[in-house]
Amino acid sequence: MKYCMAANWKMNKTVPETVEFIKAFLPMVKDITDVEIVISPPFTSLYAASESLKGSDVKLSAQDVFWEEKGAFTGEVSPGMLLDAGCRYVIIGHSERRQYFHDDDTVVNKKIKAAHKAGLGVIFCCGESLEERESGRTFDVIGREIQTGLEGVSAEDLIIAYEPIWAIGTGKTATKEQAQEVHAFIRKTLKTAYGSAADAIRILYGGSVTPENVDGLMACQDVNGALVGGASLKPESFYKIVSFKKES
């Protein structure tokens, strides 16, 4: 299984900053062939990023999508528009979308189906809050998000990203043991839903991933890559994450 390292820039970087990053980053990773690298700029930088990535193996992803193909939906972006801009993937269900924009499990499911129908790969996010973890509801929350979010969704072209909400942008990171425990639960849940097809679904860890902790996280049996936030905003930092070395 090829590892996947995805950069989620969130609401950061102008078009010139995006082009500058890619210009610096591509020479660093030109010899990396055993990791799928994905960059997710804001909507305004997608086309410029696509043009800058031409000729490389680095994939482009959007950070969100709407579920309709076109129509009177002011401010929204359709799956077809993302494909037209050069996207290969789209992130759906990120905790910030759920928290600030009220994307519940049903909305997430509609977006995933629309993305798949258009031919986009999906990076589907799930994760629990600190209160949910401390009250022992981690598996209940993640199980619900997967069951409802992926209802009627094919296992093909699907990546899961486990992002404990309490570790996103806080500097806190799940321990290797915590990450592996939840990733193993996700793998088991996917196998119940998809059978042997679940073995090919990559499960990424996201939540304050840095060059300093990535090696240990990638050593976990069921961790197949990372969804990286702040540490992906500088080419050198993201390169160090992409070029991780597994701890023995």
Bin 4: left if φ > 0, else alpha if -120 < ψ < 50, else beta. Answer: beta
User: How is residue 189 written in tokens?
Assistant: 């849940």
Mean pLDDT of 196-209: 95
- At 8, which helix (H) or strand (E)? strand 3-8
Are 241 and 5 in contact by the 8 Å Cβ rule? The answer is yes
CA dihedral 162, 165, 171, 174 (to 10 degrees): -50
Query: Residue 22 and residue 117: Cα distance in Å, rounded?
Result: 29
Interhelix angle 15-29/235-242, rounded to 10 degrees, is 40
Q: For each of the domains in the chain, give its residue range(s) and CATH number, in order of start.
A: 3-242 (3.20.20.70)
Q: Is residue 140 a contact partner of residue 101, using CB atoms and an 8 Å limit?
A: no
| pLDDT score recorded for residue 21 | 98
- Sequence-separated (6 or more) residues with CB below 8 Å from residue 210: 173, 231, 237, 241
Q: Which residues are catalytic?
A: 94, 163
Question: With 90 as the cut, is the pLDDT of residue 174 above it?
Answer: no
Q: What percent of the chain has pLDDT over 70?
A: 100
pLDDT of residue 247 exceeding 80? no
Q: Are 125 and 91 in contact (CB under 8 A)?
A: yes
Measured from the Cβ of residue 24, the count of other Cβ atoms closer than 10 Å reads: 13
Residue 96, pLDDT > 60, answer yes
Res. 173 pLDDT band, cuts 50 70 90:
confident
- pLDDT over threshold 70, residue 248: no
User: In angstroms, what is the C-alpha Rg of the chain?
Assistant: 17
Contacts of 143 (CB under 8 A, 6+ apart): 185, 189
DSSP 46-107: HHHHHHHHTTSS-EEEES---SSSSSS-TT---HHHHHHTT-SEEEE--HHHHHHH---HHH
DSSP summary character for residue 170: S
What average pLDDT score do residues 17-42 get? 97
Average pLDDT over residues 59-82: 98
Output the pLDDT for position 75: 97
Please state which of the ranges 61-65, 134-138, 183-187 shows the lowest mean pLDDT. 134-138
215 burial level (CB within 10 Å; 0-12, 13-18, 19+): middle
* pTM (predicted TM-score): 0.96
Mean pLDDT, the chain, rounded, equals 96
Tens digits of per-residue pLDDT, 130-166?
899 989 999 999 999 999 999 999 999 999 999 999 8
**What is the H or E stretch that residue 132 is in?**
helix 130-134
